[in-house]
Structures are given as structure tokens and as C-alpha cells.
Amino acid sequence: AETALQAAFDEKINADGKIEPREWMPEAYRKTLVRQISQHAHSEIVGMLPEGNWISRAPSLKRKAILIAKVQDEAGHGLYLYSAAETLGTGRDEMLDALHSGKAKYSSIFNYPTLNWADVGVIGWLVDGAAIMNQIPLCRCSYGPYARAMVRVCKEESFHQRQGYEALLVLMKGSQAQRDMVQDAVNRTWWKCLAMFGPPDADSPNSDQGRRWGIKRISNDDLRQKFVDATVPQAKVLGVTLPDPDLKWNEERGHYDYGAIDWDEFWQTVNGHGPCNKERLATRVKAHEDGAWVRAAALAHAEKQEQRSMK
Ligand code: ACO
């Protein structure tokens, strides 16, 4: 029976169909999806912290309103993604425990500090820009709930990218000190953004199977290249320099060449030793503990409702 189920699954994957929660799927496919979707959810939630740092210090009411809306969107993305992962049979408590105990990964990029106001604009422009590049192909991922969640996430990310770029355009029209602040933020963030796409294809253990299952539609290196190609002209319009002396147009390839990424630093950060890993996790754990009374109250309320409905 299992071979017939496997054959039906393979046929659907090969025909580019969607796999839905109640259908049979190989255990390894389920496990990979729980891994990727929960890591993605954790990234959204932890990703609220670097920008949340600036909500109380935004330079105007307008910037503050935009930033609050954006950070709230990231919370929403985390919630759709935890829900999508739950459809695969893993509970939210289990996923959160994995985050809080340091077992689960989340995006490397959120372990760096936001030192000046321009970091908020640069996160929108570059970090959310990279996130969109990676997530648009996920709208075509073979697992239905994940693919559908990504459609809305990408629309919201596109607003985030634009608000960041617009905030930077305004700063670049300001004083020399403001322009310097933007350049400083770009210098600190550029290389970390290139690393967000994950290790080079040759060193990416999950890529081949991810491609075969229709989870990963475009490889880590191809997405990174698309991001570089799209970003260079935007940097020109903005008037900033991207901090890479090897960045230049390659006529033959029809792409920009770029310099070497520091993968040692990337793995250090992914494995818990980046500049802010401890602080990020401690903040999440405290928020979870501080919210214990809300969970207890919600459960008590649900129990009362159930008792009332049984009368
Ligand atoms: N930060 C932290 N860990 C990473 C990163 C990164 N930037 N890139 C890769 N890794 C991890 C992988 O999770 C994997 O570890 P694991 O096997 O323990 O899970 C390991 O490095 C090897 O990488 P790959 O074999 O290339 O892994 P995968 O095929 O899963 O590709 C990728 C990684 C591209 C991040 C993929 O999981 C993905 O597309 N995820 C969904 C999008 C996402 O999570 N975006 C982050 C949020 S962006 C934002 O919120 C603004």
C-alpha cells in the first residue's frame, strides 16, 4: 500500500500539484517542511526585535506609524507560518521550545545590532528585499498551506521593502551626517544579506532533495545572484556604494560578479555565536514567560465555554 501511496505522491509532485495536509506524504518530506517552515516562523518573530528597538526612537510620527505597522506584519507572518507548520502535525509548543532552547535555527541576519536609524531603512531595502527574492519562488512550493501563506507574506514584504527604500531616499537628500549614516548601515549589512540566501549550492545539504520535492524552486546561489543584479541599480539611484571592490558587471555572464562571502562568520552566527544571538533568545524567552498568564487565561476561558455548552 505504501508504494502505491508513494507513487501517487510522486506523480502529484511531478505534475506540479499541491500536497495538502490530510494527504499521505513521505515522513522525510513532512520533516523537511516542519524544519523549514518553523525556522521561517522563528525568523519572522525574532526579526521583530532589531527593528522594534527603534519604534520608540523613530524620528517622526509618520515613521513611527509605518514602523509599528511593519513590525506587526512580521508578527502576523510568524503566526501564519506556525499555523502552516502545525498542519503537518507538530505542535506550536514543541516548535517554540526548540527556538527557546537554542535547538532551532532562525535567519542569521537577525543576530546583528541596529546601531542607527538608517539601519531601519536598510533592513527594509536589503533584508526584506532579500527575503522577497527568496520567498516569491516559495509561493509555488509543493506544500499547499506554505505556498498560500507566502502569497500574502510577499505582498506585505513588498510594502516593507518600499518603505525602507523611501526612508533612505529621504535621508540621502538630507545632511552629510545623514548620508554617512546610510552608508555606514549599508556597509555593515550588505555582506550579511548575501549570506541570508544560505550556503553555496555545493555546500547546501538540503538543496537537492528540496528541489526534487518542489519546495525549493531556485537555488541559493541563483537567488543570491538575482538579488545582487537587482540591487546594484537601486544602490546607484540611492547614491550609496556597495562595500565590495570586486563587484562589477560581467558582460559574458550577463550578471554582476561579486567578492567572497565570509562563510566562517556566517556559521559562527548560525551556530549561536553572532553578536546578538544571546540577547535575541533571552528577549524571546522572557516574552514567552511574561505571556504565561495570557495562555493560562485563554485556556481557562475555553474550558468555561466548553462547560457552558455542555449544560
Ligand atoms: N540563517 C540561518 N540558517 C541558515 C541560513 C541563514 N541565512 N541559510 C541556511 N541556513 C541553514 C539551513 O537551515 C540548514 O540548516 P538545517 O539543516 O539545520 O535546517 C543549513 O543552514 C544548510 O542550508 P541549506 O541546505 O541550504 O538549507 P535549506 O535548503 O533549508 O535552505 C533557506 C535554506 C534558503 C533559508 C531555506 O530554508 C528557505 O528558503 N527558508 C524559508 C525562508 C526563510 O526562512 N527566510 C528567513 C526569513 S527572512 C525574513 O524573515 C526577513
- Return the pLDDT at 210: 97
CA 17 to chain centre: 25
- Distance CA(97)–CA(269), nearest Å, equals 20
Q: pLDDT tens, 137-155?
A: 999 999 999 999 999 999 9
The Å distance, Cα 142 to ligand 1 centre, comes to 17
Whether 127 shows a pLDDT value over 90: the answer reads yes
Ligand 1 in reach of 32 Cβ (< 6 A): no
Nearest CA, atom 33, ligand 1? 198
At how many degrees (to 10) do helices 220-238 and 128-135 cross?
A: 140
Name residue, grid cell 533571552: 282
Ligand 1 in reach of 36 Cβ (< 6 A): yes
The Å distance, Cα 24 to ligand 1 centre, comes to 25
Mean pLDDT (the chain, rounded): 97
Whether 1 shows a pLDDT value over 80: the answer reads no
- Return the percentage of the chain with pLDDT > 70, whole number: 100
Q: What is the mean pLDDT of residues 63-86?
A: 98
- Here the ipTM equals 0.97
Output DSSP code: residue 201.
G
Q: pLDDT tens, 251-294?
A: 999 999 999 999 999 999 999 999 999 999 999 999 999 999 99
- Distance CA(67)–CA(125), nearest Å, equals 13
Whether 102 shows a pLDDT value over 80: the answer reads yes
Ligand 1 in reach of 124 Cβ (< 6 A): no
The Å distance, Cα 283 to ligand 1 centre, comes to 22
76 confidence band (pLDDT: 50, 70, 90): very high
The Å distance, Cα 198 to ligand 1 centre, comes to 6
- Return the percentage of the chain with pLDDT > 90, whole number: 99
Name residue, grid cell 499555523: 83
2 confidence band (pLDDT: 50, 70, 90): confident
Q: pLDDT tens, 17-54?
A: 999 999 999 999 999 999 999 999 999 999 999 999 99
Ligand 1 in reach of 204 Cβ (< 6 A): yes
- Tell me the whole-structure pTM to 2 decimals: 0.96
**Per-residue cell: 140:** 509555488
The Å distance, Cα 256 to ligand 1 centre, comes to 24
Residues with Cβ within 8 Å of 23's Cβ and at least 6 positions away in sequence, in order, are 9
Whether 134 shows a pLDDT value over 90: the answer reads yes
Q: pLDDT tens, 295-309?
A: 999 999 999 999 999
Output DSSP code: residue 19.
B
What are the distances in angstroms from CA 251 to CA 235, 239, 257?
20, 23, 10
Q: What is the mean pLDDT of residues 178-198?
A: 98
Nearest CA, atom 48, ligand 1? 131
Decide if 34 contacts 146 (C-beta within 8 A).
Answer: no
